[in-house]
Amino acid sequence: MLAVDDRVVMVSGANRGIGRAMAVGLLAKGYRLSLGTRHPEALDDIAGERALGVPYDALDPAAGGAWVDATLAHFGRIDALINNAGVLRHASVEDGRDEDFDHLWQVNAMGPLRVTRAALPHLKRSGRGRIVNVVSLAGKRVRGDNAGYSMSKFAALALTHGTRRAGWHDGVRVTALCPAWVATDMASHAEVPPQEMIQPEDLCELVATVLALPNNASIAELLVNCRFEDTL
C-alpha cells in the first residue's frame, strides 16, 4: 500500500454526513484536503493549514473548475477526488415532475462529471490519481418507485466506468462506492433504524483503503449493504 505522503484529496459535500466523516477521517490519516461545499463556514472547526474549505455548488456549471483552480492555487497539486455531493428527491415514472428529474440529474450526474473533467489532467499528472464516486446501491438496482434517483445514480456509475477508461493508462484509478442506507440526515425517512445503518465513519475507512491501494490493485465497484439483499 502507498504511503499518504501529503497527498491532496478533494471532497465534495464535505460539510455534513458522509462528506464530513470523510473529511475528518482522512485529515486524521495525514491527507491534505480541499473541501467543496455550499456552506464553507460549517467547516470552521476542521479547516486550517491542511484543510481548505472552498465554495462549491454542484448546480453551478462553473463551480467544478473554480474549485479545482482554488485547490491548485493553495496546494499546488491534486492526487484524489471524492465526488460525494448528492441530493435525494422523489421522482416516480408515473407522476414525477420534470424539474425533479432535472435537479437529480444536474446534482448527481453532471456535478461529478464537471469536477472530474477539471481535475482529471492533474490526477493524470500525479501518476497514481484516485477518484471515488459515492454512487449508492440505487445505482445498481431499483427498489421502490423513486426511479429518478436511481436513474441519476446509474448515470454516476456509468461515469465511474467511463472515467476508469479515460485515466487508466495515466495511473488514475476510479471506484464507485455504492452503500445502502447510511446513518445521515438524508436517510431520516428510511424504515431501517439508524443504529442498523452503515456508519459514515466506516465508509471513510473503506475509501482510505481505496486511496492507498497501488495501481495494480484497483477496485472498480465497492458495494456495501447493511441488511440482506438478493442482489448481494
Q: Can you give the pLDDT at residue 181?
A: 93
141-158 average pLDDT score: 96
Q: Specify the amino acid at residue 173.
A: R
Cα-Cα-Cα-Cα dihedral sign, residues 149, 155, 159, 160: positive
CATH topology (fold) of 8-224: Rossmann fold (3.40.50)
As annotated, the active-site residues are 149
Pull the grid cell for residue 160: 465511474
Residue 232 has pLDDT above 80, yes or no: no
Closest by Cα among 86, 88, 219 to 156: 86
- Asked if residue 4 has pLDDT above 90, the reply is no
Question: What's the whole-number mean pLDDT along residues 94-112?
Answer: 98
Prediction pTM value: 0.95
Least confident of 46-50, 53-57, 95-99, 111-115: 46-50
Instruction: Output the pLDDT for position 189.
Output: 76
Please tell me the predicted confidence (pLDDT) of residue 3. 58
pLDDT above 80: residue 12: yes
Lowest mean pLDDT among 72-86, 175-189, 216-230: 175-189
